[in-house]
Amino acid sequence: MKAVVRQPQWADSSQGLGRWIERLISIGLLRRPLFFQARQLIIRTAERNGIPWRARRTMLRQMAGPVLSDVTTPGLVPPDYYRVRFHAYEQGNLCWQAATEAEQATDAMALRIWPAETLSPLTAQTRLRDAIHQVVDPLLSGPVQRVLDLGCSVGVSTQHLSRWLRLRAQARHESPACIQGLDLSPEMLAVARVRDSEGIVDSWLHAAAENTGLEDCSVDLISLQFVCHELPQNAIHAVLAEAFRLLRPGGALVMVDQDPASSVLQRLPVAVATLLKSTEPYIEQYFSLDMADALHSAGFRNLRIEACDPRHRVIACLR
């Protein structure tokens, strides 16, 4: 029997609060000042909490500009669903502003998970990533030699994965894995490259997660962190099929994203829900998808589904 997917009622555009929010944000004259105010608030709050938002943006832009052509696959045309407004950036993920603010936004997101605690951005980020790794760890069998982080953005997930796997390999007297990050945004990849000053990620690939061009059965671990809520359902199915093709038999997939059933998301204040819905074009499709069912249909087995914090869910499984 299929599980009933419990999406928050503010997300459902066909009725009630969801429909009301949808109408409100479709009016550009209302949406733009809302975005502007929200951006100012996010930046001010982040800087107060130890994230040097604007200084970091300037620095990353200067450093990343010169490496853009090195990380760009010439002629790659992103799918239409990708070329839309995301996170209040008119050019979505395909612009410098989004790329040079992604690290700060990721740290601000990690800090928001534990509002009652005073954490440094690094402590919050490390706690979030450690909890994700802990869910997949029991599924890993044998040495992990090749790892692919799909939708790596500016490499925060990729670097945390790499540090964890290096320690794991060391403890097991194994050689470190080859770690690759893959994303559709060349600007994000350019920032990822310059952020990785330790050189702990082997390469940054500019490709679509649903069409990587990599060989069958060549990867031991695939990570898909905070990506699925940015995809329409048909693209989620395509990415899962590609992950299945790339993994060796017994290889593992770990995904993390918002948990539609979490009480935090179910009870989101209307203003915040409005903002979230207006900046995430596919959030409703993501919330209404039965992810466990989608994974089983793609061929995955041994699903472990765990909350890694009050608002996110990790799903780890095997090919």
- Name the amino acid, one letter, at 57: R
Q: Which of 288, 292, 264 is nearest to 14 (CA)?
A: 288
Among 7, 100, 104, 157, binds ligand SAM (CB under 6 A): 157
Q: Identify whether the C-beta of residue 200 lies closer than 8 Å to the C-beta of residue 160.
A: no
**Minimal CA–CA distance to 192: which of 68, 303, 14?**
68
Q: Which of 21, 34, 64, 93 binds ligand SAM (CB under 6 A)?
A: 93
| Residue closest to ligand SAM, measured at CB | 151
CA distances from 263 to 6, 153, 159 (A): 11, 27, 30
Torsion of CA 150, 152, 155, 156, to 10 degrees: -100
Q: Which of residues 33-92 bind ligand SAM (CB under 6 A)?
A: 82
The residue within the footprint of ligand SAM, chosen from 43, 136, 156, 192 (CB under 6 A), is 156
Please identify which residue in 7, 100, 104, 106 interacts with ligand SAM, judged by CB under 6 A: 106
Closest CA to 219 of 171, 184, 181, 183: 181
Judged by CB under 6 A, the chain residues 211 through 250 that form the site for ligand SAM are: 225-227, 230-231, 235
153 near ligand SAM, rule: CB under 6 A: yes
Rank residues 24 and 183 by Cβ distance to ligand SAM and give the closer one: 183
Q: Which residues pair with 204 in a beta bridge?
A: 181
Tokens 């608002």 label which residue?
A: 311
Give the x/- contact pattern for ligand SAM in 174-213, rule: CB under 6 A: ---------xxx--x-------------------xxx---
Q: Is 162 in the site for ligand SAM (CB under 6 A)?
A: no
279 binds ligand SAM, rule: CB under 6 A: no
Closest CA to 129 of 149, 99, 101, 102: 149
Decide whether 26 or 211 has the Cβ nearer to ligand SAM: 211
Residues that bind ligand SAM (CB under 6 A): 82, 93, 106, 151-153, 156-157, 183-185, 188, 208-210, 225-227, 230-231, 235
